[in-house]
Amino acid sequence: MSFPSEISSGAAPAAVPPRRHRREPSGDRWFRWATLLPAVIVLVVLTVWPVANLLRMAVSTIEFTRDGASFAFTPAENLRRLAGDDLFFINLRTTVIFVVVSVILEMVLGFLLALMVSGVPRGKGLVRTLMILPILVPPVAIGSMWKLVYNHDFGILNQALGVVGLGPVGWLSNPDLALWSVVLVDVWHWTPFVFLILFAGIEGLPREVIEAARVDGATTWQIVRRIVLPLMAPAIAVAFIFRAILAFKVFDQIFLLTSGGPGTATEVVSLRLYRVFFDQNELGYGALLSVVIILAVVAFLLTAGALARRVGR
């Protein structure tokens, strides 16, 4: 039996025929585009068009007349107004403080809770169900509930302080305390969300890898720091991004608890936006503030991502 010479000698084939592209039947091509079209239309109508319209509004002054809205192209004026809007930058600073503190607390508490519950031999399902409850409570109910908890005269916190001879404290009326009181409510509301994502991540970790680390001599802290945290990075990133975006957009609970007060102590950018859009009817300037907030969120996430990568290294 003999093999073809170019195979038995191991030499490269003399000439490789040019690769032929199979011609797609036109019916298939049309079908492919036709099935994609609904998704493309939904994307354009619900995302691209609103963003384009927001950008158009951001560089305009919009006035309402009997004939409808009239757009005047005033980018320089809008930007000049933004540059001189000290209140907005105070709002932005308040928002960043709110986001950083609440999201960090939620991530740390959520991770610790997930670690603790994953180590419980029984009842994980029950704990997971109980943890979902705060997420299910409507924001209006949360606002009312916590307003009662923080009430200066008969709130449970001040009553508890009264028992030990302290207080009463103006949880929502003291400008130095109000933001932290609002942060506490956000942490109560959203830590379970972080817990659920991270708990699912921890439960999905390969058990033998953790056991190998135990046999290798690692302490619990070393296992968490050097094995669990790096392996959990994707779940942590998802939870962080979700929470940071949602925290930047926080509105309802602050509106219900303090309406941004006292003064501007808890006025975050979404409350300011609400006022500009709906109280002052300044749609063009409001749109510009929206664009700035979107850019701030993106900058925040990029900075956080870069920091996380540096810490990871």
Partner 1 sequence: MATVEIQTLEKHYGSAHALKSITFTVRDGEFVVLVGPSGCGKSTLLRAIAGLEDVSAGAVRIGGRDVTDLEPRDRDIAMVFQSYALYPHMTVRDNMAFSLDVRRTPRPEIDARVTEAARILGLEPFLDRKPRALSGGQRQRVAMGRAIVRRPQVFLFDEPLSNLDAKLRVQMRAEIRGLHDRLGATSIYVTHDQVEAMTMADRIVVLEAGRIVQSGSPLELYGRPANRFVAEFIGSPSINIVEGRVEAGGAVALANGGRLPAPHGLRDGTVQIGIRPEDLVLDPSGPIGGPVRLVEHLGAETYVLFGPEAAPLTWRVAGTVDFPSGQDLRLRPDPDRLHVFDPATGNRL
Closer residue to partner 1 in complex, CB, 6/216:
216
Of 47, 195, 26, residue with least CA distance to 118: 195
Alpha-carbon span 4 to 1, nearest angstrom? 10
CB of 209 to partner 1, least distance (A): 5
Alpha-carbon span 71 to 58, nearest angstrom? 10
Q: Which residues neighbour 172 within 8 Å (Cβ) at sequence distance 6 or greater?
A: 147, 150, 178, 181, 182, 257, 258, 262
Closer residue to partner 1 in complex, CB, 17/234:
234
CB of 104 to partner 1, least distance (A): 23
CB of 204 to partner 1, least distance (A): 13
| Token representation of residue 249 | 């957009």
- List residues bridging with 62 in a β-sheet: 71
CB of 225 to partner 1, least distance (A): 10
CB of 313 to partner 1, least distance (A): 12
Closer residue to partner 1 in complex, CB, 15/215:
215
Alpha-carbon span 273 to 291, nearest angstrom? 11
To the nearest 10 degrees (0 to 180), the angle between helices 178-203 and 124-136 is 140
- List residues bridging with 63 in a β-sheet: 70
CB of 118 to partner 1, least distance (A): 16
Alpha helices in 150-206 (DSSP H): 156-163, 178-203
CB of 311 to partner 1, least distance (A): 14
Q: Which residues neighbour 24 within 8 Å (Cβ) at sequence distance 6 or greater?
A: none
N residues, the chain: 313
CB of 211 to partner 1, least distance (A): 5
Q: State the virtual CA torsion across 260, 266, 272, 274 in degrees, nearest 10.
A: -50
DSSP secondary structure letters along 13-40? PS-PPPPPPPPPPHHHHHHHHHHHHHHH
Closer residue to partner 1 in complex, CB, 81/124:
124
Closer residue to partner 1 in complex, CB, 22/207:
207
Closer residue to partner 1 in complex, CB, 62/213:
213
Closer residue to partner 1 in complex, CB, 194/227:
227
Closer residue to partner 1 in complex, CB, 38/234:
234
Chain residues that interact with partner 1, rule: CB under 8 A: 206, 208-209, 211-219, 222, 226-227, 230-231
Can you state the percent helix, strand and coil of the chain, rounding each to 5? 70, 5, 25
